[in-house]
Chains A and B, each alone.
Chain A
Amino acid sequence: MISDPVSLMKTPQISAENESLRTFITSQIPKGAPLIRARDNDNTSLIRFADLNNDGKKEVIVFYETPDQAVQLHGSIFENKNGEWVQRITFDGEGKVLESLRFKDITNDGSIDIIAGFSRGDEELQSGLVVYTYQGKELEKALEVPYSHFVIDDLNDDGINDLTIVSLKRNELARMTTYQYENSFIELDKLELDKSVNSYYNVVAGKVSPDKRGIILDAGSGSSSGYWYSEMIVMVDNKLTPVLNDDQTYKDVQIYSEDVNADGIYEIGILETPKGWEHFSFDEIPWFYSYYQWDGKEGMTFVRQQYHDYKSRFFLNFFPPEWHNIVTIDTKSNKDEYLRFVMSDTNKTVAEIKFFSQQDWDKDHGGWDLLVRVSDKVIAYKSYDVNLELNKNKKVETDVAPIERKGNKDE
């Protein structure tokens, strides 16, 4: 009479509407072909809704894979006719991998366009960007360009979305092109970039100062160990204009540009040496990550600073801005064993970080709170200051590391 409760678990239903749609889609696409999502994280659902033909009703767009066919990527559009779903169009995708997928009105006609990035699954090869427009009958390709990165923003601030393509082929080509649609895509401007760049590991677009929109390219350069810097490009009179020079944004580790203080303006991160460590070797220094905003001219203003583990195993809360140049790390610290954060003016310890082996942790860890577990180590902390109290006021479940949350990268 009594059975195992776990065996009675069942995936929850989705709404009847969605269920019938899913069944219909499954019946229309080749059997066994899985629906796919784009590789990037921007659009994560498998069945997507967008009003492509501006008729007030949303169409359904799916992409699916048929690995054993000549054309491996397909898309399909479904329309709702008086409560009945009908398949409108099936089209072939380019390449093998759906890299990105955006639904934005880029042609400025009020209807949503599909902006899809494809690749052949090889990092070295250029990816291809296709802008599809759909007016109810035919799917038209409004644009086909090779790209490394693309962003959709309104750089020239004219209220119309524009599309900026970054193409990079190391030592051969590095170019940024901004398009805007007026009956067809026209180039607003084109900017040649540094060809020696290995890759752009992060590309963001948005506000870079209170009254200016721009693009930040976080670039990796150099051979072997390499170095990193950020390029900030804004549009002045429809001309792509770099601001800041590479030295200002130079860093020895990858730091992602992001909006750390949630004011809607992007910051660029650089490394700073904690006070007292000036004469240590690079590998010994427990670097601080400092984030700066463009001041609108040629300089940068300090925004926030935090300690970020050089292997990205953990990071601490942002220090309060007024601690800048005051908080430091005791020079007896070792960034793989023990770190002590002190205020250089009062010599007050504000936090400690300690690395435990799993055995030592299990034996005794009195007074230490768990920060994070990594493969062979348990990293724990103690804090003595309200600003680094991390999650102290909450009941910390042992596996949850009380770490500052970052903002959503793409906002």
Chain B
Amino acid sequence: MIKKGIRRQIVLHYFIVVFTALLLVEVIFLLAIRTYYYDSVYSHISTSVKNAERYYQIFRLYEEGNVNLLSDMLANFKLTNTELQILDTKGNVLINTTEFQSETSITTSDVPQAIAGDIGRWVGRQPSTNEDVMAVSKLTQLGGEDTYILRYTTSLKMLNDKLFNVSLVSISIGAAVLAVVLAFSMGLANSIVKPLNNITAVSAQMAKGKYKARVKGDYKYELGELASTLNHMAQEIVRSNQIKDDFISSISHELRTPLTSIKGWSETIHSGGFDPDETKIGLQIISKETERLIGLVEEILDFSKLQQNEMKLVMGKVALKELLKEIMLNMWTKAEKKNIKLVLESDENPIVIGDANRLKQVFLNLVDNAIKFSEEHSEIQIVLNCYPEQVEVDVQDNGLGISEEHLNRVRDRFFQVNPLNGGTGLGLAISQQLVEQHQGTLVIQSELGKGTVVTVMLPLSNENDSIS
């Protein structure tokens, strides 16, 4: 027996469906063929008796004295392969085609049927011989003479044997069909169960942490999708683990640098013996580095808030052009260091609904990135375009650009094209989340070596009275 599971389920279902169908068909077929056989015999006898009766009524010499009427009738009505009995209406056998007198009167149901005018039919077992017979009876009346019942009996033995053989053959055909179907269903079940088992085994390995394991084999349809999804999942797990590791190492590095400088300066100051100017410089550095640490920690906090959907936006009207100008001013010094020129192109001053600080954070991050990845003496363009329903801000640089391979992943948290560059790898991820919280979109287009365009689409405020 097959052990419990999908295979057994499938085989069982096939078995039940096919078995039921076969059973129905066989039963109907056998009933039909039995009816056909019996009816054929019945109609053969009844046709013969009708013909004989018609002949006898018309051509019989009925004026003659009827001393031997019964033997005459017997000779006229007898039918090959049947026993003919001539009965009176009480069921007594007057004469028959065997050599023997029938001692008992006939009481089977064909006789009353015949008396009622039908051609009676009875199928049953002859008590004396235990043989299955069919009896067909008909009332006959010979032009005003006495009324007799002609009763034909024929053995159904050969017929029943034949029916039995037909049943056997059809049952064995049915069994063969069933066996073939079962074999097929077994194959089908295997084609489902084997890949499933394989996938299960692989996923069990994955659950144990072996993310290198892959589902091998070219499966079709849903199983194929399942396998590739699982493989993809493992790949993603590996990747996100990698990102996490990268983050930890970069954040540790990022945190260590200011802490080293804080530690150094605080120890220097603590040892004393410096003039106040030097001490002041030291304290300034400590303060600056602390700010940097705070900034880093805040960035991480922001990110975790965003992750847990705890970020509360303080919504208000924001004049986007003013905001961008502010950012230009903020970033000016940083750009100046690399001799990068910041250009704002805008004809309008659209108003959007949003949290000014957060939007500022988004654009600061974008411009900061642009500066970070631009070469010296290049130009960064910030373009503001208005459309009927939304506003578009492009931050465009002619810097390094991002390869296609990395383009999809730059917005992932902790991802950095080059983890040694410093930073948390959270900036773009945070920007993306913030824009999305403003019902906007953030799209990055880039070509390696030619530059990057980051496009932020924000919905326009309903009261679109732009300040020119």
Chain A positions within 8 Å of B, measured between CB atoms, are 1-6, 8-16, 18, 22, 25, 35, 37, 39-41, 44-49, 62, 201, 308-309, 312-315, 372-375, 391, 394-397, 399-401, 403, 405-406, 408-409
Contacts and interface: CB of A to CB of B under 8 A. Distances in A.
Given A5-B159, A22-B99, 7 more contacts: A5-B40, A9-B154, A11-B154, A12-B153, A44-B94, A47-B100, A397-B119
Contacts of A16: 129
B129 A14 contact: yes
B141 A400 contact: yes
A57 B115 CA distance: 37
Interface stretch (B17-25, B53-61, B273-281, B336-344): B53-61
Contacts, number: 155
Interface string B76-91: 0000011100001100
Contacts of B83: 11-12
Contacts of A39: 67-68, 71
Contacts of A62: 99
B81 A10 contact: yes
A373 B129 contact: no
A40 B68 contact: yes
Contacts of A399: 50, 53-54
Interface size for chain B: under 10, 10 to 19, 20 to 34, or 35 or more residues? 35 or more
Given A45-B99, A372-B141, A13 B129 contact: yes
Contact of A312 (B38, B63, B115, B133): B63
B332 interface: no
Interface stretch (B144-152, B215-223, B398-406, B439-447): B144-152
B41 A9 contact: yes
Contacts of B153: 12
B37 A13 contact: no
Question: Considering the complex of A and B, which 5 residue pairs feature the smallest CB-CB distances, nearest first?
Answer: A45-B101, A44-B95, A5-B40, A46-B99, A397-B117
17 contacts: A6-B44, A9-B154, A9-B159, A11-B83, A11-B154, A12-B126, A40-B67, A41-B70, A41-B95, A44-B71, A44-B96, A45-B101, A309-B144, A312-B143, A313-B143, A374-B143, A400-B139
Contact of B41 (A5, A309, A394, A406): A5
B284 to A, nearest CB: 110
A400 B96 CA distance: 22
A65 to B, nearest CB: 14
A46 B288 CA distance: 140
A374 B155 contact: no
Contacts of A15: 128-129
Given A5-B37, A41-B94, A45-B99, A375 B116 contact: no
Contacts of B157: 10
Contact of A2 (B70, B101, B166): B166
B67 A408 contact: no
A1 B118 contact: no
Given A40-B67, A45-B99, A201-B65, A314 B117 contact: no
